[in-house]
């Protein structure tokens, strides 16, 4: 079967998953309490805002948001129905489409940003010193 997993590695994995869940749950609760849609909507709108006028193909969103294709399709439909994005035929490939943020989507993204940042500050930034956060980034980059 192979080499046995060390208790330290298993403990690190458990703490990583629990920390991720704790911070993510806190951010989601904060957004919900403030009347905003789920975090994945904000992530999608941020990516589209960064993409500019050219928008993004769904496959690019899928990769950046780490969602399966079927999950992304449903997500885009809900966000589009709310008026925050629009899908257009790709001018370079009529079989494909690009996704674009609307002005309403950009406005929502701008309203969510300070609430999201405060939730992250509460869940992570106030619990670790700047030096610890930089070390965490460096450590996690080794895993990535």
Domain positions in the chain? 7-143
Q: What does the pLDDT read at residue 71?
A: 86
Q: What does the pLDDT read at residue 1?
A: 52
The CATH class for the domain spanning 7-143 reads mainly alpha
Q: What does the pLDDT read at residue 44?
A: 96
- pLDDT, greater one: 2 or 103: 103
- Long-range contacts: 141-144, Cβ < 8 Å, 24+? none
Could you write out the three-class secondary structure of the chain? Answer: CCCCCCHHHHHHHHHHHHHHHHHHHHHHHHHHHCCCCCHHHHHHHHHHHHHHHHCECHHHHHHHHCCCHHHHHHHHHHHHHCCCEEEEEECCEEEEEEEEECHHHHHHHHHHHHHHHHHHHHHHHCCCCHHHHHHHHHHHHHHC
- Long-range contacts: 34-38, Cβ < 8 Å, 24+? 34/115, 36/108, 36/111, 36/112, 36/115, 37/79, 37/82, 37/108
Q: What does the pLDDT read at residue 93?
A: 84
pLDDT tens profile 7-25: 999 999 999 999 999 999 9
pLDDT tens profile 69-120: 788 999 999 999 999 999 999 888 888 899 999 999 999 999 999 999 999 9
pLDDT tens profile 35-60: 999 999 999 999 999 999 999 999 89
Q: What does the pLDDT read at residue 2?
A: 62
Q: What does the pLDDT read at residue 38?
A: 95
Q: Hey, what are 142's tokens?
A: 């080794």
At which residue do the structure tokens 């458990």 appear? 14
Q: What does the pLDDT read at residue 56?
A: 94
Q: What does the pLDDT read at residue 91?
A: 80
């Amino acid at each position: 079967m192979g080499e046995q997993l060390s208790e330290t590695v298993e403990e690190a994995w458990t703490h990583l998953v629990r920390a991720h869940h704790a911070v993510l749950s806190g951010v989601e609760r904060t957004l919900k309490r403030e009347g905003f849609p789920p975090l994945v909507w904000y992530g999608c709108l941020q990516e589209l805002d960064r993409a500019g006028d050219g928008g993004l193909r769904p496959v690019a969103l899928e990769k950046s948001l780490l969602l399966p294709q079927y999950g992304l399709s449903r997500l885009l439909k809900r966000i589009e129905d709310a008026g925050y994005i629009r899908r257009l035929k790709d001018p370079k490939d009529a079989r494909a489409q690009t996704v674009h943020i609307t002005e309403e989507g950009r406005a929502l993204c701008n309203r969510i940003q300070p609430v999201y940042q405060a939730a992250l500050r509460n869940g992570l930034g106030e619990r670790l010193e700047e030096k610890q956060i930089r070390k965490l980034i460096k450590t996690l980059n080794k895993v990535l």
